[in-house]
Amino acid sequence: DAKTTQPNSMESNEEEPVHLPCNHSTISGTDYIHWYRQLPSQGPEYVIHGLTSNVNNRMASLAIAEDRKSSTLILHRATLRDAAVYYCILRDGVSNYQLIWGAGTKLIIKP
Amino acid sequence: NAGVMQNPRHLVRRRGQEARLRCSPMKGHSHVYWYRQLPEEGLKFMVYLQKENIIDESGMPKERFSAEFPKEGPSILRIQQVVRGDSAAYFCASSPRLADPYEQYFGPGTRLTVT
């Protein structure tokens, strides 16, 4: 399975945009890029996913590099409730249903 | 539309006892996945089930662990003769379709403590 690399932690100020990077240099053509987040003591929550094009939804935006070897999750205006561990995950959209989780990025929001 | 439900939320067992964890998927979802999470780590896939079928149990320990998803009722993850190393958070997720790139929906987890 293709692997992802994320920083262990990041800090941001409340009300400011946050850019969470993810490297996936061994991504294959059929791998989807998923982002989940996990708030303290809760189950993971889907954030966004994409294949090639940038994606937007009510929670965040996903910017995917042209060569697909990296992506960035963008929270446009972080709030204290966005403090969580953010996981970048690749999943083969053709044959693989498993989500292979790394350690994620712990996002700390400063008031 | 209720989300994925798991119970109990917290479970304490002594070494050697059995732990039984339950998961009710979202309405209309027929695919269930179980994951285990140790402190400060990401989730580890354990097993994937459809109604009355185990599709992939490659992440399950070979002994003491079993899972089922009967035609009626919740999915059950059973751990026999628990040991301290089984202490973890166990999450189940459900999805409507196989190999679908859409999200898996997670429950709140069961935190198992073995004393």
Span B60-112, pLDDT tens digits: 999 999 999 999 999 999 999 999 999 999 999 998 876 555 678 899 999 99
- How many residues appear in chain B? 115
Contacts B42 to A, Cβ<8 Å: 87, 101-104
Span A56-94, pLDDT tens digits: 999 999 999 999 999 999 999 999 999 999 999 988 766
Residues 6 or more apart whose Cβ sits within 8 Å of residue A97: A91, B31, B33, B48, B56, B95, B98, B99, B100
Kindly identify which residue of chain B lies nearest to residue A35, measuring between CA atoms.
Answer: B103
CB-based contact (8 Å) between A51 and chain B?
yes
CB-based contact (8 Å) between B29 and chain A?
no
CB-based contact (8 Å) between B103 and chain A?
yes
In order of A22, A65, A72, B53, B63, the CA distances from A62 in angstroms are: 11, 10, 6, 35, 41
pLDDT band at A2 (very low <50, low <70, confident <90, very high): low
pLDDT band at A98 (very low <50, low <70, confident <90, very high): confident
d(CA A91, CA A110): 32
Q: Do A102 and B33 touch (CB under 8 A)?
A: no
Residue in A27, A38, A90, A97 to test binding to B, most B beta-carbons within 10 Å: A97
Query: Nearest by CB to A43, which of B40, B100, B107?
Result: B107
d(CA A108, CA A89): 20
Beta pairing partners, B12: B113
Span B25-38, pLDDT tens digits: 999 888 999 999 99
